[in-house]
Chain A
Amino acid sequence: MQFVEVAFADPNLVADPDNTTVAFPSSFDWENMLAEFRALGGVADNVAPAPDRSGRGLFPRNPDKPFLLRMPDNLLFPDNDVEFVDQQIRIRNDASIGAAERAFFERYQNAFSWGAGGRAEGARLVEQFESLPAELSAILVTDFGMSRLIDGDRAERISRYFLRSRTIRWNSENVLMPLIDLINFRSDGMRLSSDPEGHVQIEGDARGEILVAHGLHDSLGTFNKFGFASARPHAYSLPMRTKVGTSELAIGRNVMANARRDGFAIPEMRSEGTGLHLSYLMIGHPRSPRLSRGIFDALMREANTSGAQAAFDTILLVNRTKFLRLLETLEPHDGELIRQLRMMAYFQLEAMTHCVGSREL
């Protein structure tokens, strides 16, 4: 079986069999890839690629019928098992992944993902970051955790961005999921689920493009993962340290480290020296505007600290001030990335405003 290198996976463009350097796929290529995917245990019903602005995008072949994509565990590729050599993506030699899956992964990535616009997308974004003024880059690194896009070797930044934007958290691991990694993200997209055997899948009816939800990220998190501004309803605090009464409080941004209480996700809290550490802190949500402060109040009560109200106000002030400072720094500049950063800041500030009163947990 031979795959030709593709730029966009457009089934309407047919490869010329006499020209082995053609940059467009034929439906034969897509079908061959699907056949191999199915042979390795995957299920792909009624799905077809289509070009879009980012080179990604998956559509139902027949919009009147439901689609289904199901991944067997052997086709989930942990990001730690992936490496980039000479601008090619591949599975590490020491990874415990079968030869057939390894071969499928590399052919698939070259034809439909990394080699078909994924690398170019990352290079474009990294280039935009490189053109930012130094003062702005410094703020993005220091206050907004964007060093991965700004600092270090260029090729590494591109490959790191690609992995970050394509991996999905599943069973406590960041994994690349062939085909699913072609699906674009949107706030109101579908959610991944699992079948009775626990295989990850996405299914349903889609009249147009199949879209998947962002997950837990807020607007800043979405920007850091995908490189574009997207309105998210909720906001989490930036990592910071402050005081609650006489105690030191450190706040992280690990939203995966959470526990459930009264049906709500709350951050993990642990003692850290003489202070407290919260894995993350929600600071605004339009559907539950009392929840953010309610969670904080409850946790601080459990920690026997006083001054929760003023501390929460201070956390809000610090967060809001940093995003306003970012807007101030962006003001004299223009360009696509500048506009995206500005919109991201508006979305984050907007989400932060949805913090009204408090509630018992």
Chain B
Amino acid sequence: MEVGTTERRDWPWDEMLEAFRALGGAAKNIAIGKGEHDCSLFAVDPAEPVLLRVPANLLISVDEIAFRNGNIQIIESSSVPEAERGFFERYQTTFSWGAGGKSGSAGFVAGLDALPGDIRALLIEEFGFAGLLQGDVAERVQNHFLRSTEIGWQKGPVIAPLLDRTGYDPKGLRPERGKHLQIQGYPRGEISVRRGVQDPCSAFCLYGFAGPEVNAFSLSVRAMFGDRQLAIGRRFIEGEKRGNDIIPRSELQGDALNLSYLPLGNRKFPRQPRGILHRLFRDAGLNNSDEVFDEILRVNALRFIKLMKALEPYEGAMISTLRTVARYQLEAMFHCVGSREIAPA
């Protein structure tokens, strides 16, 4: 960690902060340094709390961002005012996309591209890695950068200047969403933020490392049970509240039950995942949810074990990381013990 790096930039950190504040932002006790990113955020005085507030006018929808000639820009048709547009693009070039953001994503994509062909094929076919492994390299790098820095806001994901330089940590500072998007508190070292619920597999795709997440969600699968079809996605933000629980959004279309996602294991609440499928099935007038849950668990576990076996002949940092991701995913997935009631709609 190098806090308060003296690296020369076209736009000094303090001047950028002034411009940020002039546009309604607040940044207290925050310094730049080298951490997870080339430009990461740290507390100037770790004994004091930090505050970072990004005003709504600086939250730029991902849909309004484009890359031209290797630079990140806000699309011309966007209604973002000139001052904010100018700030955002200069900030991105100096402190984010142009300051390690691009090279970080490019390194991750290159690491995946360098995997043996059989591993790449397996990741595409059974783990939904097509977006990271197929298509134009520059586009994949740009998409990865956006996906890994975006954060949920009212109408969809946005890029929040400064906040996009915080690290990912499920135990990090919690984003507060009101009139503004802000974080505050006492970080332990580098400032990290909770960026929505992930499982080890999705966290790897976004942030490139293996972490022992609390949850494991099913891979995208389609399965027949009896004469009905079950389609499970991996859209974790599409949930609804039932009592104290968040459950996937479900939709019964003819004979098909579509779920936005499906929890398989939870280290903290191991009775919850099976209980959720029981509830979804009961609500849809379906039965045999116990066996369907077991079958989905089996399909998922077998895929991750297959990946671990396929990785076995190879060596290297990315191979070892993928093996660890698979192990963490299985660990979280296997935390499903018994069942409990989930509140009805």
Residue contact B291 to A349, C-beta cutoff 8 Å: no
Residue contact A314 to B337, C-beta cutoff 8 Å: yes
B334 surroundings in chain A (CB, below 8 A): 316-317, 320-321, 324
Residue contact A343 to B337, C-beta cutoff 8 Å: no
Pick from A310, A350, A357: contact of B302, CB below 8 A.
A350
- The contact sample of 14 A-B pairs, CB cut-off 8 A, is A289-B294, A289-B298, A309-B338, A310-B338, A314-B337, A320-B330, A331-B323, A331-B327, A343-B312, A346-B309, A346-B312, A349-B305, A356-B298, A357-B294
Interface residues of A in 308-326 (CB under 8 A from B): 309-310, 313-314, 316-317, 320-321, 324
- A353 at interface, CB cutoff 8 A: yes
Known: A349-B301, A353-B302, A355-B294. A324 touches B337 (CB 8 A): no
When C-beta atoms are compared, the residue in chain A nearest to B302 turns out to be: A353
B271 surroundings in chain A (CB, below 8 A): 310
* Interface residues on chain A, number (Cβ under 8 Å): 26
Residue contact A356 to B295, C-beta cutoff 8 Å: yes
Residues of A within 8 A of B (CB): 289, 309-310, 313-314, 316-317, 320-321, 324, 327-328, 331, 334, 339, 342-343, 346, 349-350, 353-358
Pick from B297, B308, B331: contact of A346, CB below 8 A.
B308
Bound-state Cα–Cα, A99 to B294, Å: 59
B334 to chain A, nearest CB (A): 4
Known: A324-B330, A331-B320, A346-B305. A357 touches B335 (CB 8 A): no
B312 surroundings in chain A (CB, below 8 A): 339, 342-343, 346
Bound-state Cα–Cα, A339 to B313, Å: 9
B327 surroundings in chain A (CB, below 8 A): 324, 327-328, 331
B293 to chain A, nearest CB (A): 9
Residue contact B337 to A317, C-beta cutoff 8 Å: yes
Closest 5 CB pairs of A and B: A310-B338, A357-B291, A356-B294, A313-B337, A353-B301
B113 surroundings in chain A (CB, below 8 A): none
When C-beta atoms are compared, the residue in chain A nearest to B335 turns out to be: A317
A354 surroundings in chain B (CB, below 8 A): 298
B335 surroundings in chain A (CB, below 8 A): 317
Residue contact B331 to A357, C-beta cutoff 8 Å: no
Bound-state Cα–Cα, A314 to B334, Å: 10
A130 to chain B, nearest CB (A): 24
Contact with A along B257-284 (1 / 0, CB 8 A): 0000000000000110000000000000
- Known contacts A339-B312, A343-B312, A357-B291; 10 further A-B pairs (Cβ under 8 A): A309-B339, A310-B271, A316-B334, A321-B334, A346-B308, A346-B312, A353-B298, A354-B298, A356-B295, A357-B294
Bound-state Cα–Cα, A328 to B339, Å: 28
Residue contact A313 to B297, C-beta cutoff 8 Å: no
Bound-state Cα–Cα, A353 to B299, Å: 8
B319 to chain A, nearest CB (A): 11
B298 surroundings in chain A (CB, below 8 A): 289, 353-356
A349 surroundings in chain B (CB, below 8 A): 301, 305, 330
B313 to chain A, nearest CB (A): 9
Bound-state Cα–Cα, A321 to B333, Å: 11
Pick from A328, A350, A353: contact of B297, CB below 8 A.
A353
Bound-state Cα–Cα, A154 to B273, Å: 49
Bound-state Cα–Cα, A320 to B297, Å: 13
Contact with A along B297-325 (1 / 0, CB 8 A): 11001100100110010010000100110
- B146 at interface, CB cutoff 8 A: no
A327 surroundings in chain B (CB, below 8 A): 308, 327
When C-beta atoms are compared, the residue in chain B nearest to A332 turns out to be: B320
Known: A324-B331, A328-B327, A346-B309. A357 touches B290 (CB 8 A): yes
- B160 at interface, CB cutoff 8 A: no
A302 to chain B, nearest CB (A): 21
- B336 at interface, CB cutoff 8 A: yes
When C-beta atoms are compared, the residue in chain A nearest to B271 turns out to be: A310
A358 surroundings in chain B (CB, below 8 A): 290
A322 to chain B, nearest CB (A): 11
B290 surroundings in chain A (CB, below 8 A): 357-358
B294 surroundings in chain A (CB, below 8 A): 289, 355-357
A169 to chain B, nearest CB (A): 30
Known: A324-B327, A353-B298, A356-B294. A343 touches B305 (CB 8 A): no
Known: A353-B301, A357-B294. A321 touches B309 (CB 8 A): no
Bound-state Cα–Cα, A29 to B271, Å: 66
A321 surroundings in chain B (CB, below 8 A): 331, 334
A310 surroundings in chain B (CB, below 8 A): 271, 337-338
Interface residues of B in 80-133 (CB under 8 A from A): none
- In the complex, which of the residues A314, A327, A334, A353 has the most CB atoms of chain B within 10 Å of its own CB atom? A353
When C-beta atoms are compared, the residue in chain A nearest to B291 turns out to be: A357
Bound-state Cα–Cα, A309 to B323, Å: 31
Bound-state Cα–Cα, A349 to B298, Å: 11
Residue contact B309 to A343, C-beta cutoff 8 Å: yes
When C-beta atoms are compared, the residue in chain A nearest to B298 turns out to be: A353
A353 surroundings in chain B (CB, below 8 A): 297-298, 301-302, 305
When C-beta atoms are compared, the residue in chain A nearest to B295 turns out to be: A356
Bound-state Cα–Cα, A63 to B64, Å: 73
Bound-state Cα–Cα, A152 to B298, Å: 40
A339 surroundings in chain B (CB, below 8 A): 312
Bound-state Cα–Cα, A263 to B339, Å: 31
B287 to chain A, nearest CB (A): 12
A296 to chain B, nearest CB (A): 14
B288 to chain A, nearest CB (A): 8
Bound-state Cα–Cα, A317 to B333, Å: 10
Bound-state Cα–Cα, A28 to B171, Å: 74
B320 surroundings in chain A (CB, below 8 A): 331
A320 surroundings in chain B (CB, below 8 A): 330, 334
- In the complex, which of the residues B270, B291, B323, B334 has the most CB atoms of chain A within 10 Å of its own CB atom? B334
B330 surroundings in chain A (CB, below 8 A): 320, 324, 349
A289 surroundings in chain B (CB, below 8 A): 294, 298
A325 to chain B, nearest CB (A): 9
